[in-house]
Amino acid sequence: MEGSARDLLEYRKETAGKRTKLALVLLSLLALTAVWRITQGEWAIPLARIAELISPFLSGEDLSSPEALVVRSVRLPRFLAAAGAGGLLAVSGVVLQGLLANPLAEPYTLGIASGAAFGGALGFFFGSFAVTPAAFAGALFALWLVGVIAWRSGGGGAYIVLAGIITNAVLSAGVTFLKAIADDKLGAIVLWLMGSLSGASPASALMAWAGAAFVFVPAFVYGRQLDAVSLGEGRGELLGVDERKLRRTLLFFASIATALAVSCFGIIGFVGLVVPHLLRTLIGPASRPLLVFSFLGGALLLSAADGLAQRMGELPVGVITALIGGPFFCWILAGRRRAA
């Protein structure tokens, strides 16, 4: 008995040590990425000058200087938007993978991306001002449609995934139809669908961080229940968890947050798949620490990918994340087949 307690204590110490080291690595890399993204560009600005320019006590003359405008209105908001959106998508991935007990789930499993894509593409026909609200409305419509189909079918995790596949197929066909009749708007629609942070503003950065908090807080509060549900269909009920209520609650928060990110920045896939899965292999499946580390990992991945996309001629960042996530997705599938 004493040996078991001692082994458990050693395991906890070892796990805590790993998590501390990983947290330091992620925070250091995120800080280095922030320095790179804010100081470098067509106009290189020294780090010491950056510190002066972002000070809240900056004088009126310096505040109107070209350097201040570049840093405060372009580079800093873009980095913050990438970090917030990346963290949001990764945390949403943790929630969906736990709720559906499926490591291949991500924020777009439920057809939210297709709904936002359909709404955003439709918004282009009314003017650029309508794209963001139309995309958000489309994502909410997709969530409602998935909920109706899953509820009519039985309401379990497997039915939610199937409902998401059906919704995704229908709305993707709708997007294809809109592109076919878009004429001169086709180029703008295609670029938006690829996902980009080039138009990030202080307002969109604030929305990304608000969305991240919107999903992170309830997911952290329900962390233990999420652990129980992630064991498999029906396991949570044996431990006293109301699985249907938990799914409805957390799916709502994760879907609204994802819809917010998609409506602002377009389709940025695979962040919610790659980051949670990779970090789960490093720190274990416990939801609460996984939420924290996934937020940091998602912020790091998307901000670094956005920097790479910008250096490659302002490519859509969705292209970069797809190039990273596609092979990773295949690796996960191959691993699951070997395990079976």
> pLDDT tens digit string along 137-150?
888 898 888 888 88
Q: What is the mean pLDDT of residues 224-240?
A: 78
Q: What is the pLDDT of residues 70-113, one digit of tens each?
A: 888 889 999 999 999 999 999 999 999 888 887 777 877 778 88
Confidence of residue 276 (pLDDT cuts 50, 70, 90): very high
Q: How many CA atoms lie within 13 A of 182 on its CB side?
A: 21
Determine the pLDDT at residue 174: 92
Residue percentage of the chain with pLDDT more than 70: 89
Are 11 and 5 in contact, with CB atoms under 8 Å apart?
Answer: no
Determine the pLDDT at residue 80: 96
Site of tokens 């940091």: 296
Q: Give the whole-angstrom CA distance, residue 68 versus residue 122.
A: 37
What is the maximum alpha-carbon separation in the chain?
Answer: 74
Q: Give the whole-angstrom CA distance, residue 280 versus residue 93.
A: 12
Determine the pLDDT at residue 90: 95
Q: What is the CA radius of gyration of the chain?
A: 21
pLDDT at 117 over 60: yes
pLDDT at 338 over 60: no
Q: What is the pLDDT of residues 284-305, one digit of tens each?
A: 889 999 999 999 999 999 999 9
Q: Give the whole-angstrom CA distance, residue 52 versus residue 48.
A: 7
Determine the pLDDT at residue 264: 87
Site of tokens 């943790």: 94
301 contact partners, CB below 8 Å, separation of at least 6: 86, 90, 271, 274, 275, 321, 324
User: Distance from first CA to last CA of the chain, Å, rounded?
Assistant: 35
77 contact partners, CB below 8 Å, separation of at least 6: 200, 201, 202, 204, 205
Confidence of residue 67 (pLDDT cuts 50, 70, 90): confident
pLDDT at 135 over 90: no
Determine the pLDDT at residue 6: 61
Q: What is the mean pLDDT of residues 13-40?
A: 89
140 contact partners, CB below 8 Å, separation of at least 6: 115, 255, 256, 259
The sign one gets for the Cα dihedral 34, 37, 38, 44 is positive
Q: What is the mean pLDDT of residues 255-281?
A: 87
Determine the pLDDT at residue 319: 87
Measuring CA to CA, which residue among 18, 9, 17 is closest to residue 282?
A: 18
Determine the pLDDT at residue 336: 56
Per-residue exposure over 66-84, b if at least 16 CB sit within 10 Å of its own CB, e if not: eebebbeeebbbbbbbbbb
Determine the pLDDT at residue 281: 86
**Which of the two residues, 16 and 172, has the higher pLDDT score?**
172
pLDDT at 317 over 70: yes
Q: Give the whole-angstrom CA distance, residue 148 versus residue 142.
A: 10
Between 53-57, 132-136, 145-149, the lowest mean confidence (pLDDT) is in 53-57
Confidence of residue 216 (pLDDT cuts 50, 70, 90): very high
Are 82 and 287 in contact, with CB atoms under 8 Å apart?
Answer: no
Q: Give the whole-angstrom CA distance, residue 229 versus residue 246.
A: 9
The sign one gets for the Cα dihedral 218, 270, 33, 23 is positive
Q: pTM value?
A: 0.88
Q: Give the whole-angstrom CA distance, residue 12 versus residue 161.
A: 35
Q: What is the pLDDT of residues 172-183, one digit of tens each?
A: 899 999 988 988
Determine the pLDDT at residue 88: 95
Site of tokens 């409902």: 163
pLDDT at 155 over 70: no
Residue percentage of the chain with pLDDT more than 90: 30
Question: How does the average pLDDT of the chain come out, rounded?
Answer: 85
Q: Which of 1-5, 211-215, 257-261, 263-267 has the highest mean pLDDT?
A: 211-215
